[in-house]
């Protein structure tokens, strides 16, 4: 622009403005005059003293407003070797601060003494000793001499003493697998450089200390100036996390184009971010607070992370374990079918006589203890299926069975009518049937099977609908969480086990996500097993097979379908939770755990109470209330007395209402006269005459259940555990285990037996649950504490250098849940040849 203006002025008259080369001189002269006038107005001209300085020499000087000292340093920089340079300053300043400006070739660093760092609520902490490492600009030459200057100035009229020392940093470049110890403080941060070796794409940077406090921050930053190494700016760039005794960040080469990065360690001015107390409170405005000695000794080590082969081994191991269950199920099914075929031949032709000639109805294959058709995989009707369809001689038997089934269905159609005209209808009154002292399954299996099947199929369709509407926003939310972590670099958002968090793509802990595949695969396998049993059973029903209509526990598979779907959803939502685990999304991991526990209890109750089991709408409404309280407890439950009082009261009232419902088999009313009836029963049964309960077995179960639940409510009210979601899950599991134990005891007490397959499933599941809970309670992280405190529990991988303790919990718990479902599926197969009016209800 200036050259263009000169050329343009040549065409103007000589009487025009002055030539353009005079203008810069005039501007420079005016600036000098203004500077001279201003400096004279402030206090006269300032003397500038420049000194040639050397490394590792302490300079003790004095600075005032009238003089400014400049220290000139030079050092040789090599392209293949990086040397750190550290500037240390100490001064006892009483009035105006001293300003230090370090001018480099491509960077400027400035700070003052005292250095004022702010904490929470605008607390101010002064530091008179400051040490900063200079950012090293890159050089392209093999060797180059670079100069930098340290300017010292102040506005104080009184002389202020200071000490200045510039030194080289030993071990500025970190070596792989070599530990380096150092000391840092809020005013003396440290950072080091690491260069990726050839062939290494991922490393884990570990920073450790024997001291819990002071709280510190480790950061990974790109090689660029300036380096953000103070408490108030360390979060501006790169990845960072707070730490007490442990910190670890996995770093990938692809994120750093220069194939190198800085490891920055900063000590915070306060410990509140790491769970420590606020020492100084209350405070006066603008009061400077002495923070005391906040030096911390730490060590840093950079270790190579796993390579792609370990990733492949981990994925193959995970898939191989659960595919083996598919293979095992298939092999056992084949073996059992082969064994059953041989038994069928013996059964069909004992002496070349048909069952019709002997007058014997074909028995169910459950007599033979088949795993394929009686255990956990196929159906309980395979023998009769073949026996009644392969030989035309059995046609008259089919017709007779059909007439029996049709007669039964016709009689069942009148059970649900409200108006009674005949004696038979009166005998079908629910109050008469359900209030008998000794009930059999036939008393509570009077409704039309087709109606009940549709009722229980609603469980599956409802949970499938819930799963879709629940999973979609969950997936969207956790993707957003992961994106925020990747963009901001804030490693405190997610509570990983950072010592065993293997990234893949945008995911930070792929191993914790992969280990949940077992829930999905085993849930799908369970659905296939249930589907096979359902198909074979329906074929028997279509043929009006007597065993399927009059014998054994009524077969309703809707709840089993719902359980398998819930297990699959537990795997999906647990994987979503582990994308970024924290207290705001923990309910993703537990919601379907509540559903699984609730569905298992419902299925256990439905076995001998098919007519009076809760509907899907009622069950899911109750589970929704449980999840609602779970969210409230996570958000508001910490040390909130009012919440715990309300929850404990609701817990106890719900226990009493459910106990009443179970004891009276639903034959009671909750209305305005309920209190009057309760008082009357207490007076007649306890005061006027002391009589025992009519239903002793039920009373024993309910008394034990009330003791357990009242104890859990009292524990919650007194202890107020921080992990409310796990506390609520413990309540559900305790009730499920109590009911299951009662069911097994009463089953054996009633003279029934547990078949070999079901017994093996029970023992296997119990052992697996024991090992699973051991790994669950290892506690590798916890969002009940601060992220820094949570990292104190982090541990290295223990399986294939890829999976940690919590991953093994995922493996074992998915297998244990699958085994638990098989137990529920097979535990009453011994009754398939027993008439329902001989199977007791308890």
298 CB contacts (<8 Å, ≥6 apart)? 181, 182, 183, 184, 207, 208, 209, 216, 265
**Nearest partner of 237 among 250, 226, 216, 221, judged by Cα:** 221
pLDDT-derived band of residue 16, with 50, 70 and 90 as boundaries?
A: very low
CA separation for the pair 351, 354 (Å, rounded): 9
CA separation for the pair 604, 823 (Å, rounded): 11
Q: Which range has the worst mean pLDDT, 164-168, 458-462, 668-672?
A: 668-672
pLDDT for the residue 405: 42
763 CB contacts (<8 Å, ≥6 apart)? none
* CA 53 to chain CA mean position, Å: 57
Number of other CB atoms surrounding residue 330 within 10 Å: 12
Structure letter (DSSP) for residue 373:
I
657 CB contacts (<8 Å, ≥6 apart)? 670
Question: Any idea what the Cα angle at residue 304 is, between residues 500 and 261, rounded to 5°?
Answer: 105
Decide: helix, strand or coil at residue 574.
helix
Backbone Cα Rg of the chain: 39
Location of structure tokens 């107005």: 41
Question: Any idea what the Cα angle at residue 140 is, between residues 136 and 146, rounded to 5°?
Answer: 50
**Nearest partner of 604 among 809, 400, 742, judged by Cα:** 742
CA separation for the pair 66, 45 (Å, rounded): 7
* CA 715 to chain CA mean position, Å: 25
10 CB contacts (<8 Å, ≥6 apart)? none
pLDDT digit string, tens, across residues 377-414: 333 333 333 333 334 333 333 334 444 444 344 333 33
The CA–CA distances, whole Å, from 382 to 379, 547, 828 equal: 6, 11, 17
**Nearest partner of 812 among 557, 559, 380, 515, judged by Cα:** 515
CA separation for the pair 138, 79 (Å, rounded): 7
Decide: helix, strand or coil at residue 90.
strand
Say if residues 264 and 219 touch (Cβ distance below 8 Å): yes
How is residue 727 written in tokens?
A: 């506390």
pLDDT digit string, tens, across residues 738-797: 999 999 998 998 888 988 889 999 999 999 999 999 999 988 888 888 999 999 999 999
How is residue 591 written in tokens?
A: 């919601």
CA separation for the pair 430, 444 (Å, rounded): 9
pLDDT digit string, tens, across residues 474-513: 999 999 999 999 999 999 999 999 999 999 988 989 999 9
pLDDT digit string, tens, across residues 643-656: 999 999 999 999 99
Is residue 315 over pLDDT 60?
A: yes
The CA–CA distances, whole Å, from 1 to 11, 18, 199, 328, 794 equal: 17, 16, 52, 84, 63
pLDDT digit string, tens, across residues 359-372: 344 444 333 333 33
pLDDT-derived band of residue 374, with 50, 70 and 90 as boundaries?
A: very low
**Nearest partner of 308 among 248, 247, 252, 263, judged by Cα:** 252
What's the whole-number average pLDDT of the chain? Answer: 81
564 CB contacts (<8 Å, ≥6 apart)? 523, 524, 526, 527, 530, 821
Is residue 692 over pLDDT 80?
A: no
pLDDT for the residue 51: 87
CA separation for the pair 260, 262 (Å, rounded): 7
**Nearest partner of 779 among 723, 716, 712, 838, judged by Cα:** 723
Is the pLDDT higher at 339 or at 48?
Answer: 48
């Amino acid at each position: 622009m200036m050259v263009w203006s000169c050329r343009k002025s040549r065409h103007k008259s000589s009487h025009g403005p002055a030539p353009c080369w005079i203008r810069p001189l005039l501007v420079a002269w005016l600036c000098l005059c203004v500077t001279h006038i201003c400096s004279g107005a402030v206090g006269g001209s300032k003397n500038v003293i420049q000194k040639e300085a050397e490394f590792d020499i302490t300079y003790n000087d004095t600075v005032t407003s009238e003089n400014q000292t400049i220290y000139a340093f030079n050092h040789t920089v090599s392209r293949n070797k990086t040397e750190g340079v550290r500037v240390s300053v100490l001064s006892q300043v009483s009035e105006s601060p001293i300003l230090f400006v370090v001018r480099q070739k491509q960077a400027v660093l400035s700070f003052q003494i005292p250095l004022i760092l702010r904490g929470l609520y605008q607390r101010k902490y002064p530091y008179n000793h400051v040490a900063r490492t200079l950012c090293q600009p890159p050089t392209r030459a093999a060797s180059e001499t670079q100069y930098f200057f340290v300017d010292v100035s102040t506005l104080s009229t009184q002389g202020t003493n200071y000490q200045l020392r510039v030194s080289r940093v030993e071990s500025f470049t970190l070596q792989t697998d070599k530990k380096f110890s150092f000391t840092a403080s809020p005013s003396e941060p440290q950072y080091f450089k690491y260069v990726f070796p050839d062939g290494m794409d991922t490393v884990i940077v570990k920073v450790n200390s024997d001291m819990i406090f002071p709280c510190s921050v480790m950061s990974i930053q790109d090689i660029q100036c300036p380096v953000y190494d103070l408490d108030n700016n360390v979060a501006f760039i790169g990845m960072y996390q707070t730490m007490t005794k442990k910190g670890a960040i996995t770093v990938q080469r692809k994120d750093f184009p220069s194939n190198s990065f800085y490891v920055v360690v900063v000590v915070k001015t306060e410990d509140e971010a790491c769970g420590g107390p606020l020492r100084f409170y209350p405070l006066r405005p603008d009061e400077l607070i002495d923070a005391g000695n906040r030096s911390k000794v730490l060590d840093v080590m950079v270790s190579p992370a796993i390579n792609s082969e370990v990733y492949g081994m981990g994925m193959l191991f995970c898939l191989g374990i659960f595919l083996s269950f598919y293979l095992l199920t298939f092999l056992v099914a084949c073996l059992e079918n082969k064994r059953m075929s041989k038994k069928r031949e013996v059964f069909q032709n004992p002496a070349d006589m048909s069952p019709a000639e002997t007058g014997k109805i074909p028995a169910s294959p459950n007599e033979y203890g088949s795993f394929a058709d009686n255990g956990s995989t196929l159906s309980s009707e395979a023998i009769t299926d073949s026996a009644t369809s392969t030989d035309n001689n059995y046609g008259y038997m089919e017709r007779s069975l059909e007439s029996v089934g049709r007669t039964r269905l016709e009689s069942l159609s009148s059970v649900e009518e409200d108006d009674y005209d005949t004696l038979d209808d009166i005998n079908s009154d629910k109050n008469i049937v359900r209030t008998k002292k000794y009930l059999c399954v036939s008393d509570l299996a009077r409704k039309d099977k087709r109606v009940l099947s549709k009722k229980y199929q609603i469980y599956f369709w409802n949970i499938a609908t819930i799963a879709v509407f629940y999973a979609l926003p969950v997936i969207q939310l956790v993707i957003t969480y992961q994106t925020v972590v990747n963009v901001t670099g804030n490693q405190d958002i997610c509570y990983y086990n950072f010592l065993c968090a293997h990234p893949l793509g945008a995911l930070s802990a792929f191993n914790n996500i992969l280990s949940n595949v077992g829930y999905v695969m085993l849930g799908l396998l369970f659905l296939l097993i249930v589907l096979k049993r359902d198909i074979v059973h329906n074929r028997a029903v279509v043929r009006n097979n007597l065993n399927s209509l009059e014998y054994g526990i009524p077969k309703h598979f809707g709840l089993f379908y719902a359980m398998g779907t819930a297990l699959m959803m537990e795997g999906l939502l647990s994987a979503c939770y582990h994308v970024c685990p924290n207290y705001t999304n923990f309910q993703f991991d537990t919601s379907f755990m509540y559903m699984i526990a609730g569905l298992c209890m419902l299925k256990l109750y439905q076995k001998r109470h098919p007519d009076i089991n809760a509907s899907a709408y009622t069950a899911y409404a109750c589970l929704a209330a449980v999840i609602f309280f779970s969210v409230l407890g996570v958000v508001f439950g910490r040390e909130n007395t009012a919440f715990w009082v309300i929850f404990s009261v609701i817990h106890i009232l719900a226990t009493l209402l459910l106990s009443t419902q179970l004891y009276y088999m639903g034959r009671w009313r909750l209305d305005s006269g309920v209190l009057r009836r309760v008082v009357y029963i207490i007076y007649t049964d306890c005061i006027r005459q002391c009589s025992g309960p009519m239903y002793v077995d039920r009373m024993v179960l309910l008394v034990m259940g009330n003791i357990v639940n009242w104890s859990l409510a009292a524990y919650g009210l007194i202890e107020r555990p921080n992990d409310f979601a796990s506390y609520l899950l413990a309540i559900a599991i305790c009730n499920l285990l109590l009911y299951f134990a009662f069911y097994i005891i009463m089953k054996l007490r009633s003279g029934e037996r547990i078949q070999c397959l079901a017994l093996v499933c029970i023992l296997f599941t119990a052992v697996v649950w024991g090992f699973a809970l051991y790994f669950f309670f290892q506690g590798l992280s916890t969002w009940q504490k601060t992220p820094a405190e949570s990292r104190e529990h982090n541990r290295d991988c223990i399986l294939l250098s890829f999976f940690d303790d919590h991953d093994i919990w995922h493996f074992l718990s998915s297998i244990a849940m699958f085994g638990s479902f098989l137990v529920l599926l097979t535990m009453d197969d011994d009754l398939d040849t027993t008439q329902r009016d001989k199977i007791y209800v308890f």
